[in-house]
Structure 1
Amino acid sequence: TPHVEAWDAAAALPASLFENLSELGFMGMLVPEAYGGLDLDVTSYLVVVEELARADAASALTVSIQNGPVASTLLKHGTEAQREAWLPGLAAGEHIGAFALSEEGAGSDPAGVATTATRDGDGWVLNGAKKWVTNGARAGLLLVFARTGDRGELGCFLVPGGHPGLEVQGRTTTMGLRASETAEVRLNEVRLPLDALVGAAGNGLGIALDALTLGRAGIAAQAVGIAEASLEHAVRYSREREQFGRPLAAFGAIQAKLAEMAARTAVARAAVREVGARLQRVRAGEADDGVGENSLVARVAGAKLVASETAMFASDEAVQIFGGYGYMRDYPVEKLMRDAKGTEIYEGTSEILRFVIAREIMRAAEG
């Protein structure tokens, strides 16, 4: 869209965009109709995220966090009172959701969360700091994970935006996805009622990992959208740009690049479609009995791994095809490359994803 570059430069999405996304129902795609959502199946949701990312990955990321780690976690693990209190506002876009898990010393190792939640009379008191909180700068609801006991014993807490003791310390300056308004959040004696806890104390790590499964599928869809946009821009430019008296697209070297970009993107898209269908069956109450490399956890990790590395490959090739123009801020492919890099890092780095897949393979081999 003509506005994307301005949003990226401003490192913020406009309020009008959130209004439009809300009117379309995109802020509550996975929320049941009873709470004001669209109640889409997971595959349809992932297609929407993919299409949004073709235009702007930051917008797609914001929608993915809202629907996946935030709303779906509340839907699956929250009480009816918690769902009634928050899901209608999330679906209507009145509340922007944020997932506050990562910390300075706990990124790929969520069990190492140092933020504490201490019982105090008829409530909880939270202290600590969270980093890389997507949507954190404008969040109306944060799902904050804090340690309730020994290492790995976490609780998931509902913290309203603007709550006393909650401090958003400005937007984090990132390489790409700049408009997603990532922030650092500090919690200083944040007092919460007992019913702010989602699930049971000590079960937060399981809730977080469950949320990341759907979250990773959303990021995989986002990455496919970036790869598609990279291919589209590369094809268009190679047909228009002439060198040595003919279009770049007439050269075999350029055709080979485009073919590889297209083939890899198709594979990534197919992987995302597969996990979308399987996640939907689980969401509908069916069991998923896949094991080893075919387990749902491994398949989702594989989809994100393949899709994110495809996005990085395709955007890199697009920059190369654009040549000197590709290295300039005036052209869209440099932003695609910056955005693509993020998909290889957040919600599971490529290295962690390979570890997850290998772990599932070895578990199955050991019986």
Structure 2
Amino acid sequence: MALNPYDLYDVRSQLSDEERMIQDSVARFTDEKVLPIIGACFDEGRFPKELIPEIAGLGLLGSSLPTEYGCAGLNSVAYGLICQELERGDSGIRSFVSVQSSLCMYPIYAYGTEEQRQEWLPRMAAGEVIGCFGLTEPHGGSDPANMKTTAKRDGDDWVINGSKMWITNGNVAQIAIVWAQTEDGIQGFIVPTDAKGFTAQEIKHKMSLRASVTSGLFFDGVRVPDANRLPNVKGLKGPLGCLTQARYGITWGPIGAAIACLDEAVKYSKDRILFDRPIAATQAVQIKLAEMARRITLAQLLSLQLGRLKDAGRLQPTQVSLAKWNNVRMAIDIAREARDVLGGAGITTEYCPIRHMLNLESVITYEGTETVHQLVVGRELTGINAF
């Protein structure tokens, strides 16, 4: 039997029937609905909001949360496969789902009250309410403890002042999960985006994640009731716990981007004739393609094991850092090599490698830069914090 060129170690055979069914369902959505329009969306700098109802209808929003809140109740490997197939389409589509699921719905579930869960999670799972996650600030994202946004108690309310930057979904969201300094440490708040004093300003002139909405958020005396505070966590443990959830999905997503680039490079190399033979017949190109397949295979095995550890309740943040570092680096290198195989044709968005390459410049930076994750692993090895 011939091997699947994009799954050389038959990782799919290690999946359950349900996991395979979910992967196939999301793959069909990506093939039929995302790929036909995503190149144009990237060119236009437009997030395809028209896809939100179908994304919600497939159960992809908050997919790992319990069914009692209108969610799918899937395991972590299934969520990873969702991220992989969505990012095979575009990092912007996967980012939308990651933010909604891991950075907005998860903190309400993990840190909120039962009333907050019942109020928000079913509507968010249905795509009726979109969220954004306000942690990163303009003066720097790798040091979240140096937070300038404040929330001060005023009777039964909190008054929030400050700003956040590089916020995915900011201008399409109805609520923002905002982390702010209080007299009792960092706390999270559910902030309606129509609140007086709240402004979202979309960031333009991006060369990356162009099919995604990225915004700055500004809070000028924004008042929210104490009922909107997430009461079950204080300090950086709250936002960092959300980031671990999101980073886990990001370890899977770039595998999809890399597979898309390899697929395009393989097909192009068979059709491109130079010196009376396809470039696929040259050793130079075959070595490039083989190297791409090797690195994809390693990443697939890494994320599958990470997902099994997560489902067993044994996942450690350092393990997520290692996989995020490895898999995003793998994907961005493959996108660049695939662009090279395509030659001049590779600089246009008629082919996917340069679009994925540009998107991955953001993915390798957000949710912890590559350097941050390297230092997390280094700290684990030495016991010394070098931040």
TM-score by length of 2: 0.87
1:181 counterpart (181, 188, 213): 213
CA distance in structure 2 between the aligned counterparts of 1:196 and 1:102, rounded to whole angstroms: 20
- Preserved CA contact (<8 Å) 2:255 2:327: yes
Q: 1:160 to 1:280 in 2, by over 3 A?
A: farther
SS in 1 for 2:160: strand
1:124 match = 158
- Preserved CA contact (<8 Å) 1:275 1:296: no
Q: Find out whether 1:296 has 2:320 as its counterpart.
A: no
2:197 counterpart (159, 162, 165): 165
Q: Find out whether 1:361 has 2:381 as its counterpart.
A: yes
2:254 counterpart (203, 214, 223): 223
1:244 counterpart (275, 292, 299): 275
1:81 match = 115
Q: Which runs of 5 or more structure 2 residues have no equivalent in the other structure? A: 1-34
CA distance in structure 2 between the aligned counterparts of 1:245 and 1:219, rounded to whole angstroms: 42
- Preserved CA contact (<8 Å) 1:214 1:279: no
Amino acid at match of 1:196: N
2:344 match = 324
CA distance in structure 1 between the aligned counterparts of 2:107 and 2:302, rounded to whole angstroms: 23
The correspondence of residues 45-194 of structure 1 with structure 2, limited to 5 A, is 45-149=79-183, 153-194=185-226
2:228 match = 196
Amino acid at match of 1:362: T
Tell me by how many angstroms 1:14 deviates.
2.6
Tell me by how many angstroms 1:310 deviates.
0.5
SS in 1 for 2:304: helix
CA distance in structure 1 between the aligned counterparts of 2:231 and 2:76, rounded to whole angstroms: 23
SS in 1 for 2:99: helix
1:292 match = none
Q: 1:240 to 1:320 in 2, by over 3 A?
A: same
Tell me by how many angstroms 1:161 deviates.
2.2
1:271 counterpart (279, 284, 302): 302
Amino acid at match of 1:348: G
Q: Find out whether 1:22 has 2:56 as its counterpart.
A: yes
CA distance in structure 1 between the aligned counterparts of 2:134 and 2:152, rounded to whole angstroms: 18
Percent identity between matched residues is 36
SS in 2 for 1:178: coil
- Preserved CA contact (<8 Å) 1:239 1:249: yes
CA distance in structure 2 between the aligned counterparts of 1:69 and 1:333, rounded to whole angstroms: 28
Task: Provide Cα deviations, 1:198-251, integer angstroms capped at 9, x if missing partner.
Answer: 1357x1411111111111111121111111111111111111111111111100
- Preserved CA contact (<8 Å) 1:35 1:88: yes
Calculate the aligned-residue CA RMSD, in Å. Answer: 1.6
Q: 1:7 to 1:92 in 2, by over 3 A?
A: same
- Preserved CA contact (<8 Å) 1:106 1:113: no
Task: Provide Cα deviations, 1:69-107, integer angstroms capped at 9, x if missing partner.
Answer: 211222111111111111011110111121110001130
1:6 counterpart (40, 43, 59): 40
Amino acid at match of 2:64: L
2:10 match = none
Q: 1:172 to 1:197 in 2, by over 3 A?
A: farther
Amino acid at match of 1:354: Q
Judge which range, 356-365 or 249-258, deviates more.
356-365
CA distance in structure 2 between the aligned counterparts of 1:229 and 1:268, rounded to whole angstroms: 14
SS in 1 for 2:36: coil
Q: Find out whether 1:337 has 2:357 as its counterpart.
A: yes
Amino acid at match of 1:352: V
Tell me by how many angstroms 1:9 deviates.
2.1
CA distance in structure 2 between the aligned counterparts of 1:231 and 1:204, rounded to whole angstroms: 42
2:12 match = none
- Preserved CA contact (<8 Å) 1:105 1:113: no
Q: Which runs of 5 or more structure 1 residues have no equivalent in the other structure? A: 283-287, 289-294
Runs of 4+ in 1 over 6 A off after TM superposition: none
Tell me by how many angstroms 1:352 deviates.
0.3
CA distance in structure 2 between the aligned counterparts of 1:68 and 1:200, rounded to whole angstroms: 17
CA distance in structure 2 between the aligned counterparts of 1:104 and 1:364, rounded to whole angstroms: 28
Amino acid at match of 2:149: T
- Preserved CA contact (<8 Å) 2:93 2:212: yes
